[in-house]
Structure 1
Amino acid sequence: MTEPQAAIVHLLDIMAKLRDPDGGCPWDQVQDFASIAPYTIEEAYEVEDAIARGEPATLLDELGDLLFQVVYHARMAEERGWFAFADVAKAISDKMIRRHPHVFGDAAARTAESQTSAWEVQKAAERAGRAEHGTLAGIPLGLPALTRAAKLTRRAGRVGFDWPDAGAVLDKLEEEAEELRVELKNEQQSSDNTALKDEVGDLLFVLANLARKLDLDPEDCLRGANRKFERRFGFIEQTLKSEGKLPGDSTLDTMEALWQEAKRRERMAI
């Protein structure tokens, strides 16, 4: 047995022991797919965070946590007689071979265009095999909303339902912003914010697609904006702290001036 094989077997044995009704972990014994799913999503985000931070040791640790989630779900499925970890590994191996004929068989398909075409053909066949019909079938509901918005319209774009360019999306963004302004005035006369929620959703949807048309990941764009906000607000707090103050003790004008100073320093550092 190779070292990687031994490591996987050891991990599977640990998972089996944790779930063992006789002597296992009381917490692990009572978990199910629904209760574990949020942890699986969280671990995937922690992997992304480790990558963004450029921390190899943290990435190693987080990848282990994510692998453990796969093992956890596979173990629960095995207990129900559905499938086991080996079936999961075999299924993804078979899928990758099917989707890469240019690597595992067809030498004539060794171009980027042929690869993309083969990939999409295989995915369409797999969706059909799962009785998922329609252009938008198979896009997971559990995806982050911005990511799902981009995927929905990317899929629709393949059959010609798309904005011609980013400029057209900007025009649509301005249209949606104006509709939101109108609704803001109406909302002042109504206690029902359903229409307001709808307009904000439309605006976010168009923004997600603006990112897509620019070949950007909307989630990555927003994560970057979040980090920038944290960094600049942290500068505000640290500056005020050095003066014996707190943000709550300061005026908006004072904090805005410090925000602009943080922006100036960032530009100078580039």
Structure 2
Amino acid sequence: MPEENKTSLSGLNRLLSIMESLRDKENGCPWDQEQTMQSLTRFTIEEAYEVVDAIAKGNSDDIRDELGDLLFQIVFYAHIAQEEGEFDFNDVANAISDKLVRRHPHVFSKTSASALSQEALALQWDAIKAQEKAEKRANNASGLLGDVPTGLPALMYAQKLQKKCARVGFDWPNALPVLDKVEEEVGEIRQELEAETRSKAAIEEEIGDALFAMVNLARHCNVDADTALRKASQKFANRFSAVEALALDKHQSLEELSLAELEALWCKAKTREKS
């Protein structure tokens, strides 16, 4: 069925039909034909980050396009699963629909949402998720942390592990002792750096411990660690671009400037930022 004849289909049905054509064993695209769930995962991660980047930049056309790219990834996985007789796109849609209805009894049952406080809604959400996880653990006996995906970005993985443990009471009472832990871990990095013989493995381990403690501190402060780091990185990138612009105004090359001169431009860019 030629693609030009599919434009009368709904957007989603059209996309599903295109996916079927791409994977067609005789007339499909060779690249799409050879993909597997495993080979697609890196593209999925890239597409998710591109959605986040488009939202941060606030361009609605880019947001639409990047969401389409991410949706295509889901359609692709579902089609591969359908070929293998596991599930199809409708099963995926129905699974999330069932979950949303199950987790929102205040919307889809006789209970009025307005009768519940934000705190009560949060407790209800956690209780339903806990029940779901308990049932899943009973089926696969994988333990409390068994269903946390190890392939998550490191900051998100750390935060999810901490949240899981916090739900069973294994957590600091507030942010202050976590801050003490951060300072302790930073001190241990210093000890390794000042050791007579440096161990790269030991330094890596201590830096990892400090990062894990920082994620814990962010969680206790109701701050998403990934978002905080992303904003800090973007601030750095913007400020460094300003340093480049200041050097260009003076017809200077960054490579020719000393560290002290670069620091001076950095401070100037920082001052302009605040004015």
Q: TM-score, normalised by structure 1?
A: 0.92
Give the partner amino acid of 2:201. T
Counting only pairs closer than 5 Å after superposition, residues 1-270 of structure 1 correspond to structure 2 as: 6-107=10-111, 110-111=115-116, 112-130=118-136, 131=140, 133-186=142-195, 189-190=197-198, 192-268=199-275
Q: CA deviation at 1:118?
A: 3.0
SS at match of 1:245: coil
Pairs aligned (count): 264
Give the partner amino acid of 2:164. R
Quick one: structure 1 residues 4 and 43, their matched pair in 2 at CA, closer, same or farther if it must change by over 3 Å?
A: farther
> Which stretches in structure 2 are left out of the alignment for 5+ residues?
1-6
Give the partner amino acid of 2:260. D
Q: CA deviation at 1:120?
A: 2.2
Q: CA deviation at 1:158?
A: 2.0
Measured in 1, the distance between the counterparts of 2:244 and 2:155 equals 30
User: RMSD over aligned Cα, in angstroms?
Assistant: 1.9
Q: CA deviation at 1:133?
A: 4.7
Measured in 2, the distance between the counterparts of 1:106 and 1:171 equals 47
Q: CA deviation at 1:96?
A: 0.4
Give the partner amino acid of 2:54. A
Quick one: structure 1 residues 165 and 124, their matched pair in 2 at CA, closer, same or farther if it must change by over 3 Å?
A: closer
Q: CA deviation at 1:94?
A: 0.5
Q: TM-score, normalised by structure 2?
A: 0.90
Q: CA deviation at 1:108?
A: 6.1
> Which stretches in structure 1 are left out of the alignment for 5+ residues?
none
> Is this contact kept in 2: 1:127–1:137, CA < 8 A?
no
> Is this contact kept in 2: 1:132–1:138, CA < 8 A?
no
* Seq. identity, %: 47
Q: CA deviation at 1:5?
A: 7.5
SS at match of 1:164: coil
Give the partner amino acid of 2:131. A
Measured in 2, the distance between the counterparts of 1:243 and 1:257 equals 13
Q: CA deviation at 1:104?
A: 0.5
Runs ≥4 residues deviating over 3 A: 132-135
SS at match of 2:85: coil
Quick one: structure 1 residues 172 and 5, their matched pair in 2 at CA, closer, same or farther if it must change by over 3 Å?
A: farther
Measured in 1, the distance between the counterparts of 2:148 and 2:95 equals 19
